[in-house]
Amino acid sequence: MAKKKGTGLLMVWTDVPADHEEEFNRWYNQEHLAERLAIPGFLSAARYEALKGGPKHLAYYELESIEVLESDAYKHVQAHPTEWTRRCSPNVLGTNFIRNVYTLLHPAAVTPDVAQSAMAPALQIGRMDVPPDIDQEFNTWYNTIYVPNYEKVPGVIRGRRYRAVVGTPTYMTLYEFEHPQVSESAAWQASGTFRLSPIVYGHICSTPQALQVCGSRRFNSRRSGYTLAGRSAL
């Protein structure tokens, strides 16, 4: 059975002017997703629309690895855009355009179950930078306590973390949900009540620009929720 998930992600966010949105959606759904999935190493693709946060449109591609984006096949398609792409691609029409490439950080490997799993009905995404002096301890805490705690919530399929190799901020956490209301549930809200290590707590709760996870569970990171808007039939 063909793999659906790998260790790399290509994530493209954008907003689009209302008068171009219909054609933009047709281009993505009728041409662009299928074109990208024809490239070896592109495993799955889906489009999502923001329910909270933004930008509104997200195109999410699962890659065998980030090396796919250095392949001759990908570079050829990039260098020879179709006429429709020249008119409607997000770097032409879009505002707040973000194109980030990520490699898997947590878990350490893609299990067979994850590799065969479909794109989720809903996502919650958090993106953040971490000061170098607490980077190692922060990641250990996030990977072993923070994400596993939320994975226990009903409706959470899984949580994965990535490091950006193209784009910023450095880290992205990707939660896959069975439905968009998971993050509004009492169980999800209650999962924020756990202890931080003293070093992480001291930094997070004293730095306004950092992710806020103190007693009030305040967040000042770039966090967005998305619901499935379309996927390739391939």
The pLDDT tens digits of the residues spanning 36-95 come to 999 999 999 999 999 989 999 999 999 999 999 999 999 999 999 999 999 999 999 999
Q: What are phi and psi of 27, to 5 degrees?
A: -60, -45
Q: How far apart are CA 12 and CA 35, in angstroms?
A: 15
pLDDT digits (tens, 9 = 90+) for 120-153: 999 999 999 988 888 999 899 999 999 999 999 9
Neighbour count for residue 232 (Cβ, 10 Å): 20
